[in-house]
């Protein structure tokens, strides 16, 4: 087993996650790549569970992504199987055979159609998934299913993650209390172009698949798609949302129903919570960085500028070195390709304006900014002075630790 990585200094505790009606989970050891740790997770859902999903737009997706995309339109789910250590990507026919065998074996145990089984894999690309080990481990996982297995499941899907990630939110639909809770994994190869990592959320609310899909797609756009660790979009990214209908709330048929507002807000909060936990666990990260852009011509333009700043290696290394180098921020704005006027641009760090109208602020006092740069959470803000467009992004700094982890990932 590879040496455990030190826990991120930005880690947050795993929250209490009680059983959620209609969901049972288990984690176990299949020996797919890791030795002496859990690497396989099974979730089983109550009959009539609806599902929504958003997947990577990487043009070289893994076989599990192909499988999930094919079965998602039916909108029904009875099980989810996730393995860590092997991504089942770029494995040709063998990859598709592995997904079929995994889905068939799970369906036989659960008593459902294979098309009601969802699959996800994370880990090394280009190596065949030893699905015989996965299939052999499934009966023991089925026997161990329990409602309180959320933290074990969160740990079972980790790769280079240094802490398990979970979140819980509460809401009501037509006055009926409902709960949402989910887990995520991710640390490197994090740059949003759908989603970026694995995230699995369940709720006991009764919501049809089309409504779930609309809510999830909108929520991902403002959370996972606004985060980046290293600008690399994974081949295996997936966010899945399962609704077990166990809460018994009144039927909802449209995603714009006012009764859905509390649920929508809770889902959006939960997704952002999990997305930021992924950034907090960025490989080698020592600082969480927020980037706010205002004054753009459109919101879309502002978001692209924010991501250009968040993805810049020079900005990220400056933050790692506690250097308030606002020139690198200006550079990143300019390279984004979005409308910008050098002579209208304003830059702030930690709430302190340090550059405006194309030049440094006269008598700029660097002391409070230097103090801010020594903290764990860094706030960057840019005002383009062109319009009303706003956008946000979150990232982490880029340290030697990132090279150390990725330089030895397969060894």
335 in a labelled binding site: no
- The residue annotated as part of the active site, out of 99, 106, 162, 196, is 196
| C-alpha atoms less than 13 angstroms from C-alpha of 93 in its C-beta half-sphere | 0
227 in a labelled binding site: no
Token output for 320: 């790692």
- Residue 185: name the closest of 156, 207, 158 by CA: 158
91 in a labelled binding site: no
234 in a labelled binding site: no
**Is the separation of the CB atoms in 12 and 149 below 8 Å?**
no
411 vs 395: CA distance, rounded Å: 27
160 in a labelled binding site: no
Token output for 227: 């985060």
196 in a labelled binding site: yes
DSSP assignment of 77-125: -SEEEEEEEE---S-HHHHHHHHHHHHHHHHHHHTS-GGGEEEEEEEES
196 part of the active site: yes
The residue to which tokens 């089984």 are assigned: 117
- Residue 350: name the closest of 321, 322, 371 by CA: 371
Secondary structure of residue 220 in the 3-state scheme: helix
The annotation places the binding site at: 159, 185, 196, 283, 406, 411
What residues are labeled active site? 196
The annotation places the binding site for substrate at: 159, 185, 196, 283, 406, 411
């Amino acid at each position: 087993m590879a040496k455990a990585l030190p826990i991120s200094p930005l880690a947050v505790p795993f929250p209490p996650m009680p059983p959620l009606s209609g969901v049972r989970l288990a984690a176990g050891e299949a020996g797919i790549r890791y030795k002496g740790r859990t690497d396989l997770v099974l979730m089983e859902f109550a009959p009539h569970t609806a599902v929504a999903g958003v997947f990577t737009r990487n043009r070289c997706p893994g076989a599990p992504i192909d499988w999930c995309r094919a079965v998602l339109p039916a909108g029904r789910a009875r099980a989810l199987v996730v393995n860590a250590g092997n991504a089942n990507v770029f494995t040709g026919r063998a990859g598709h055979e592995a997904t079929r065998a995994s889905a068939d074996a799970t369906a036989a145990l659960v008593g459902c159609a294979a098309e009601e089984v969802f699959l996800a894999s994370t880990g090394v690309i280009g190596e065949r998934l030893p699905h015989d080990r996965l299939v052999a481990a499934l009966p023991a996982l089925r026997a161990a299913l329990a409602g309180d297995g959320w933290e074990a499941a969160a740990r079972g899907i980790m790769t280079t993650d240094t802490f398990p990630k979970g979140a819980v939110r509460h809401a009501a639909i037509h006055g009926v209390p409902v709960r949402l809770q989910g887990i995520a994994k991710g640390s490197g190869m994090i740059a949003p172009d759908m989603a970026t990592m694995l995230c699995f959320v369940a709720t006991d609310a009764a919501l049809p698949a089309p409504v779930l899909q609309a809510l999830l797609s909108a929520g991902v756009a403002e959370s996972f798609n606004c985060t980046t660790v290293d600008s690399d979009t994974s081949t295996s990214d997936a966010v899945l949302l399962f609704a077990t209908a166990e809460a018994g709330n009144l039927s909802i048929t449209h995603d714009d129903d006012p009764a859905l507002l509390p649920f929508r807000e809770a889902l959006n909060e939960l997704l952002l919570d999990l997305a930021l936990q992924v950034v907090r666990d960025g490989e080698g990260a020592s600082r969480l960085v927020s980037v706010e852009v205002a004054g753009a011509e459109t919101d879309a333009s502002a978001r692209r500028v924010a991501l250009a700043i968040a993805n810049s290696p020079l900005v990220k290394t400056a933050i790692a070195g506690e250097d308030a180098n606002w020139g690198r921020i200006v550079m990143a704005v300019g390279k984004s390709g979005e409308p910008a006027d050098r002579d209208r641009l304003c830059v702030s760090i930690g709430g302190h304006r340090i550059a405006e109208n194309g030049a440094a602020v006269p008598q700029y006092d660097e002391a409070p900014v230097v103090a801010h740069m020594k903290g764990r959470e860094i706030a960057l803000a840019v005002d383009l002075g062109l319009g009303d467009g706003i956008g946000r992004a979150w990232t982490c700094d880029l340290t030697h630790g990132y090279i150390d982890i990725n330089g030895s990932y397969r060894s």
